[in-house]
Chains A and B, each alone.
Chain A
Amino acid sequence: MAEPAHSDEPLLKTPLHAEHVALGARMVPFAGYDMPVQYPTGIMTEHNWTREHAGLFDVSHMGQAFLVTEDKSHETVAKALEAMIPADVANLKPNQQRYSQLLADDGGILDDLMVTRVGAPGHEGWLYLVVNASMKEQDYAHIQARLPKGVSLNRKDNLGLMALQGPSAEAVLAKLSPEAAALSFMMSADVQIDGIWCHVSRSGYTGEDGFEISCKGEDAAKLWRALLADPEVKAIGLGARDSLRLEAGLCLYGHDIDTTTSPIEAGLIWSIQKRRREEGGFPGAERVQREIKDGASRVRVGIKPEGRAPAREGSVITTPDGREVGIVTSGGFGPTVNGPVAMGYVVKDASVVGTDLHLIVRGKPLPAKVAAMPFAPHRYKR
């Protein structure tokens, strides 16, 4: 059997590193951090636990930062960010969160991110950003270089971030903070949990209902333990995080989206609000507007292999008669689906749900069909 390659570079640690080690996690290098890929029960059990109870994920490796304007005007800071992303930032309500993408001038995706209009008193003109761990240095440099005078980027490398996901998440959090548990999807609040300041949003990356909770790094372990103390909650590693998000049809940056894919090709048009579609004014707007009007030449689709063999990232997609029509960008085994699932890009005429495809796995064609996503239904509390 082939062993994965190891790098000798020193790895960063999240504020929860010692917790993972104490729980017996298998630690692996991820985006420059030493991260738990799984705990002793394994990915399948962790995945199923999250779908049936509540999973707790350490996502402190992600980049948290604030965009702040001197003039304390939401309009100013919104305008500054709207010059880089296609989402409507201006019409965000205080404490509202939105998913978007940093776009390159050609409409390619530099990273995807979460944007929240900070609602805490005295923070008018503040936006809270969460970017991918692997992209944060590039993102921060990109944003910094494009900010107008008076608007600054404050990176918060000392914060912790964890996600509580699954059908029991609400009941678990309600015991600690009824206010946070009462949030609706993509809304956030600043609350105290066990005397710890937390910024909680109702969001996540599993397709399940749940919360993402930011706190000071030095408080992270205490909060982590308080949440894990509930018998409904188990720690979940990056392995199950990946299988959960794949079943939920959610993109992973660097795999399903990157600088070669546009938000329209990626099926992310829902993240571009009406005013921005019409007005443009973001990098790559010309391409995005053209693809909205004429359709993209290739699109991201869900793919269901018909047998038991998973098709992994990089598998070539052909028609049953062998014409190459695309490539798999994420693929693996879906424990909830109880079978292999994948997503990838195919040319427009092969993108209709039900279209027969072949996936080339180890040189052999594997029958598959274009499938509707998500593979496991979203259970967000709107």
Chain B
Amino acid sequence: MTTRYTKDHEYIRVEGDAGIVGISDYAQGQLGDVVFVELPSVGKSLSKGDEAAVVESVKAASEVYAPVSGEVIEVNSELEASPGTVNEDAAGRGWFMKIRLTNESELEGLMTEEQYQEFVKSIS
């Protein structure tokens, strides 16, 4: 199991040929209280960088981009009823979607946990 991060604060936790996508704890802190999450439909095919979901805080809407290319195979429908889960547990129960990767080499362009923590330090 490896977790990789984008500069836009999405994470992908890869297990086998699939990865769980969400936003980082830093990102949820920046957003503030999450009040709505719009998730993609299962079966949707995404290219790396595509708009995959939308997360709305009290203040604003933000796009969540696909960290890698792949097909959406599952979404966290619990977020519809309790979007605040993203704030409570961004790395765990607050996940957004599961993607079946179509190009695993794309992971190499993403940051490791350590690199991401350095990156967050550099921007905050």
Contacts and interface: CB of A to CB of B under 8 A. Distances in A.
B20 interface: no
Contacts of B9: 1
Centre residue among B35, B38, B64 by max chain A CB count within 10 A: B35
Contacts of B8: 1-3
B58 A335 contact: yes
Contact of B32 (A4, A43, A242, A308): A43
A332 B60 CA distance: 7
B63 A43 contact: no
Interface string B5-38: 0001110000000000001000100011101101
B35 A310 contact: yes
A309 B56 contact: yes
Contact of B58 (A243, A308, A309): A243
A345 interface: no
Nearest to B33: A44
Interface string A333-366: 1010000100000000000000000000010000
Interface in B64-100: 64-65, 80, 83
A333 B55 CA distance: 12
Nearest to A339: B35
B61 interface: yes
Given A42-B32, A310-B35, A1 B27 contact: yes
Nearest to B56: A310
Contact of B56 (A37, A38, A239, A333): A333
A6 to B, nearest CB: 11
A234 interface: no
A333 B35 contact: yes
B84 to A, nearest CB: 9
B122 to A, nearest CB: 13
A30 B48 CA distance: 34
Contact of B36 (A240, A242, A309): A309
A2 B58 contact: no
Contact of B59 (A3, A37, A309, A340): A37
B110 interface: no
Interface residues of A, number: 23
B32 A310 contact: no
A1 B33 contact: no
A292 B55 CA distance: 42
A340 B36 CA distance: 9
Contacts of A309: 36, 38, 56
Nearest to A44: B33
Contacts of B115: none
B111 interface: no
Nearest to A43: B58
A57 to B, nearest CB: 16
B117 interface: no
A337 B104 CA distance: 45
B103 interface: no
Interface in A180-239: 239
B33 A43 contact: yes
A47 interface: yes
Contacts of B35: 308, 310, 333, 340
A312 interface: yes
Counting from the closest, the 10 A-B pairs by CB-CB distance are A44-B33, A333-B35, A43-B58, A1-B62, A333-B58, A1-B8, A42-B32, A1-B9, A308-B36, A309-B36
Given A42-B32, A47-B58, 12 more contacts: A1-B64, A3-B8, A4-B60, A37-B59, A239-B32, A240-B58, A309-B38, A310-B35, A310-B56, A332-B58, A333-B36, A340-B36
21 contacts: A1-B8, A1-B23, A1-B31, A1-B55, A1-B64, A3-B8, A37-B59, A43-B33, A43-B57, A43-B58, A44-B33, A47-B58, A240-B58, A308-B35, A308-B83, A309-B56, A312-B60, A312-B61, A333-B36, A335-B58, A362-B38
